Amino acid sequence: MKILAVDTSTTSCSVAVADDEELLAEMTIDNGQTHSRHLTVLIRQVIRLAGISLPEIDGFAVTKGPGSFTGLRIGMSTVKGLAVASGRPVVGVPTLESLAVQSGTFDLLVCPMIDARRGEVYFASYRFEQNRLLAQHEAQAALPQNILSEIQEPCVFIGNGAIVYRQNIIEKLGNQAYFAPSGQHIIRGATVALLGQRRIATGDIDEIESLVPTYLRKSDAELNRQRK
């Protein structure tokens, strides 16, 4: 089963094609530019590098958030358009779950963090049990200090939020704080493809109309309107 996967939920943009659990091609950029400038180009290039054509894609996967409001909309609208045009299934993959999977199969608590700006992070926690990822804390937007005050055990942190607030984490948890390798803090299209393939294989697909981004909080524009 060939899956095309896209992540545009943070500053990075990643596209991958996988066949079952074998990665065929992947490209990731993180240059600070809007994803709308690169996404369709990356999709074409990755499909070409995979040695296949778009009609050979059996399904699509896209990160659904939380993350950048604009980035999520760009990725999801692009992938939904491809799914509608091709008649292939699509699934939305949680960004924090993708990061947790990239941490590796640890016995420790895994805490993915995405920088949400305004002094907040998008956060969740997971634990691996028999190679299955189980949620311990549901995804939320919160102040880092509030999250860290609830962690009372060794924990692996991953994501750009873990990088931004690394010193805060160390000051709070000391030698109980562990960090994923530097190359894993960016969400990879390959991970999204893996998670998407597993869902599609079991028939657990999303309806195009109901697949929408998970924001967790109101946008700056909405907050500004409320203030006025």
pLDDT attached to residue 51: 98
Looking at the structure, tell me whether residues 170 and 216 fall in a common domain. no
Span 63-91, pLDDT tens digits:
999 999 999 999 999 999 999 999 999 99
pLDDT attached to residue 227: 45
Q: At what angle do helices 69-86 and 39-49 cross, to 10 degrees?
A: 50
Q: The domain containing residue 75 runs over which residues?
A: 2-95+186-227
Looking at the structure, tell me whether residues 151 and 42 fall in a common domain. no
pLDDT attached to residue 104: 82
**Distance separating alpha carbons of residues 64 and 6, to the nearest angstrom:** 10
List, for the chain, all residue ranges whose pLDDT scores fall below the cut of 70.
Answer: 105, 219-228
Looking at the structure, tell me whether residues 79 and 160 fall in a common domain. no
Looking at the structure, tell me whether residues 157 and 201 fall in a common domain. no
Looking at the structure, tell me whether residues 83 and 127 fall in a common domain. no
Looking at the structure, tell me whether residues 163 and 205 fall in a common domain. no
**Pairing of the two strands 2-7 and 13-19:** antiparallel
Q: Which residues contact 160 (CB under 8 A, 6 or more apart)?
A: 10, 11, 113, 114, 115, 185, 186
